Amino acid sequence: MPRGGTRSEGDESQGPAHGFDTDGTVLDGTRHVLFVHAHPDDETLATGALMAELVERGILVTLVTCTRGERGEVVPGPLSHLEGTPEFATHRENELAGALAELGVTRHVWLGTPPARAAASRPPVSHGEHAASETEAAACPDPKAPGSRSEHSASVAHSDQNASAAEVAACPEPRRYEDSGMRWVREGLAGPAEDASATSLTSQPLDDEVADLLALLDRNSAPARGAESAASTRGAQPTPHTPPDLIVSYNEIGGYGHPDHVRAREIAERAARARGIRFAEIISDASTLQNAQDAGEPNEPHHNALQTRGDADAVGEPSAQPEVKQSAPVETWFRLEHRLGQVKRALAHHASQVTVAGDDVVHSGGQRTPIETSAGLRVLS
């Protein structure tokens, strides 16, 4: 089927022939995408359709969530009693687990929880073991692995099967970053709350938070995984140890200004740059794509599923200009309407925060917006 093929809401089992072709997009050659989101529900609202599509196409997807969204406003109704209670964080953990199951995402980690937790110091290494460089964050193993689904981190439990007692002993307690809260500055734009706690994501040192994410990245890319390194060629199927080759998070203002979104982007971008991994920001409006077709202007049929550009020209019909060798594309707009039903089902699990109403989502504050199935990625590094 041409690259613009779509399928009906109940037709999600037909396989990757329906949808978009990753060749010639920012995902060209990508085998593992790591998403960094601030709170439970953000992953589904902003990138749920894209994550589900990547999973179906055999691309490894890992989600890192920075906080439990403890300060989220609760939808009026049977869950209202949870707002502001200690039980609310656990409830949101369970909501996220349900949503990820609908999207097919099995790899999830909380920032600050092993293995996304930097050790205070790495224990001595014996001869032949990998010694961390000065710039490598020492990763804490998950002491409950293997086979554990503790805190929904089963996705990475396999990486800790050989963790030594010394490595576990060197790790401090999990670091729990709390929701910083927000206030509305004006319609559509949030700003920092005036009462963020000392343990909130925005109150903790950025360097510590980056170190926690680096610990996860370094555990996935340790040279001890020699077999995986040898298989890391273009076109090879990813394995559980395939390191991320693209990290995705929000734009500079965190989408709509929430301070935790802004911080999540800072953490993700700094970690990506530190390890030489490409970083892409999420674009929610096609009109902000540079040198791409205007929002609402249809692409030619074979580009109907996405828009993409390289450093020279926007992708469309072949240019009459002499062929010029272009670098990898830096922007792609993904149209994934065939994922609407799946995203609806995932959003239904986040019942404390949103209500699905037809093809719209009603937020806890009463705002009603269309459910997003399209999204753009802009690679910055």
Whether 113 maps to a domain, the answer reads yes
Angle at 41 between CA 36 and CA 47, to 5 degrees: 55
Is 263 within the bounds of a domain?
yes
Cβ of 264: how many Cβ atoms within 10 Å? Answer: 29
Query: Residue 189 has what pLDDT?
Result: 83
Q: Is residue 327 part of a domain?
A: no
Give the domain CATH number at 212.
3.40.50
From residue 247, give the alpha-carbon distance in Å to each of 33, 37, 80, 192, 236.
6, 11, 35, 25, 20
Strands 331-334 and 368-370: unpaired
Residue 100 lies in a domain: yes
Long-range CB pairs of 182-189, under 8 A, 24+ apart, other chains included: 182/257, 182/258, 182/259, 182/260, 185/257, 188/256, 189/256, 189/257
| pLDDT score, position 290 | 59
- pLDDT given at position 95: 98
Average pLDDT of each block of 10 consecutive residues along the chain (381 residues)?
Answer: 30 39 82 97 97 96 98 96 96 98 98 92 40 51 47 42 56 90 83 89 96 93 49 63 94 90 97 97 75 33 39 33 48 94 98 97 93 94 75
Phi, psi of 364 (to 5 degrees): -60, -25
- 3-class secondary-structure state, position 326: coil
Determine the structural domain holding residue 168 and report its residue range.
32-286
In a domain, 177, yes or no: yes
pTM summary value: 0.78
Q: How far is CA 176 from the centre of its chain?
A: 19
Q: Is residue 231 part of a domain?
A: yes
Let me know if residue 215 belongs to a domain: yes
pLDDT at 320: 38
The CB density around residue 91, as the number of other CB atoms within 10 Å, is: 18
Q: Looking at the domain assignment, is residue 83 inside a domain?
A: yes
Look-up of token digits 């001869």: 127
The rounded radius of gyration (Å) of the Cα atoms in the chain is 21
Question: What is the C-alpha separation between 173 and 166, in angstroms, rounded?
Answer: 15
Instruction: List, as one string, the DSSP characters of 203-218.
Output: TS-HHHHHHHHHHHHH
The count of structural domains within the chain is: 1
Q: What is the edge-to-edge ordering of all strands in the sheet holding 306-309?
A: 107-110, 60-65, 32-37, 246-249, 278-283, 375-379, 331-334, 306-309
pLDDT per position as a tens digit, 92-121: 999 999 999 999 999 999 999 999 999 875
